[in-house]
Amino acid sequence: MKRENFELLAPAGDLEKLKIAIIYGADAVYFGGEMFSLRAGAGNLSIDEMKEGIRFAHERGKRCYLTINIFAHNEDIGPLTDYLEQIKNIGIDAFIVSDPGIVDLIQEIIPDAEIHLSTQANMTNFRTARFWHKMGVKRLVLARELTFTEIKEIRKNIPSDMEVEAFVHGAMCISYSGRCLLSNFMIERDANRGMCAQPCRWKYSLVEEKRPGEYYPVEEDERGTYILNSRDLCMIEHLDKIVESGIMSAKVEGRMKSVFYVATVIHAYRQAIDAYFSDPARYEFKAEWLTELKKVSHREFTTGFYFDKPTNQDQNYQTSAYTREYSFVGIVKSYDSATGYAVVEQRNKMTLGDEIEVFGPDIPFFKQALESMYDAESGEPLESAPHPQQVLRIKMDQPVKENYILRKAIRRSEI
């Protein structure tokens, strides 16, 4: 496979994340509109924001995909029809869809639309893939329950013009291809219509019906148990196997994650992909890429189903909390090379004397002590910056650019 035929696909929960994903190396982004997406809790994009984001991406030769992957009920069809009429001419490159009725509706309203089959459709065999090809689907977003062996067999037995995409990084769902009824059952929030409350991450104990209020741990552990709590998928150590399996789009999960998450994860995978395609025969994984991924909030990692069915080692029974070792403290808005000062928008508290790390899409990170900081509006010198999105002037040890990110290791006292 040639480099230009392989895609790094990033989540874009809002317009800022869309732009950051592209700046940090994504070849394409996927996002939801204000309705009909399976991430109702994400910021999502208004039609005007989609227009701006699509323009930003296309100017840089990147692609934009809109997720309309709910399982629609009758009352959704009318509003969805109106919505498609509003967005049909704004330049969306493809629609990610799981419901065959919605596939048909999009093709009716936007005849030349490119359709990608969502992972929610749980596509697991080449016969089903061929069916969707006949229905006009261009790309398959594979079910997460497939091994490399199965993926290679699907690739071998489908038309050559049909593309294969798969998740390589991010949260895993305990239910088959994410089609879960637990949230709906427990608190009437329908995961299949974008409102999942993630009850799989809750802490569970056992109660005997005649002893209400008496909770017994399911396992012999004083911390309780998280019987449905999957580890996070991470395939950066096996990027070569991803490419060689026939997958042409490596998808990162995380439309509800932070700008810091998007920048860090996309930057790490961008480096791995570029290293592989520069010389596939001599490609070697670099531990520093995995180290970078661990600097954003994450659960322990797993390779999911890629090598075999997951075992009890792929679940986290102790806690549903994230591992969080670094804090996203700011993003560069501009830099004055004459003075060495950057204008920085604060995202979390930082204090004089803190050691910070600075990274960008075109540099390895560097460390420096935070020795000089001023309020950008008043010019007042500051000891700390505790106010959300406070605009600061910070002395930088090395030149920086707009959208470089500042982070710092979290002290135990801050956890």
pLDDT band at 248 (very low <50, low <70, confident <90, very high): very high
Q: Is 16 exposed, middle or buried (0-12, 13-18, 19+ CB in 10 A)?
A: middle
Q: Are strands 341-346 and 94-97 parallel, antiparallel or unpaired?
A: unpaired
Closest CA relative to residue 348, chosen from 400, 256, 411, 274: 411
Q: Is the pLDDT of residue 87 over 50?
A: yes
Strand partners of residue 115: 95, 137
Q: Are residues 237 and 211 in the same domain?
A: no
Q: Is the pLDDT of residue 139 over 80?
A: yes
Q: Are residues 308 and 398 in the same domain?
A: no
User: Crossing angle, helix 47-59 and helix 74-87, to 10 degrees?
Assistant: 50
User: Based on the structure, what is the number of domains in the chain?
Assistant: 3
pLDDT in tens, 123-136: 999 999 999 999 99
Q: Are residues 115 and 253 in the same domain?
A: yes
In a domain, 320, yes or no: no
Q: Is the pLDDT of residue 324 over 90?
A: no
Query: What span, in angstroms and rounded, lies between the C-alpha atoms of 14 and 31?
Result: 7
Helices H / strands E in the chain, number of each: 10, 21
* pLDDT at residue 198, rounded to an integer: 72
pLDDT in tens, 144-180: 889 999 999 999 999 999 999 999 999 877 665 665 6
In a domain, 194, yes or no: yes
Q: Are residues 148 and 281 in the same domain?
A: yes
Query: What span, in angstroms and rounded, lies between the C-alpha atoms of 356 and 334?
Result: 18
**For all residues of the chain together, what is the average pLDDT?**
88
Q: Mean pLDDT, to the nearest integer, of 173-191?
A: 64
Instruction: Spell out the residues 6+ positions from residue 407 whose beta carbon is closer than 8 angstroms to its own.
Output: 260, 295, 326, 327, 328, 329, 356, 357, 359
Which residue intervals of 197-246 are DSSP H helices? Answer: 239-244
In a domain, 242, yes or no: yes
Q: Are residues 239 and 199 in the same domain?
A: no
pLDDT in tens, 337-386: 999 999 999 999 999 999 999 999 999 899 999 999 999 999 999 999 99
The whole domain housing 189 covers: 176-217
Q: Between 71 and 236, name the one with better pLDDT.
A: 236
Q: Is the pLDDT of residue 32 over 80?
A: yes
pLDDT band at 46 (very low <50, low <70, confident <90, very high): very high
* pLDDT at residue 220, rounded to an integer: 42
8, 266 Cβ separation under 8 angstroms:
yes
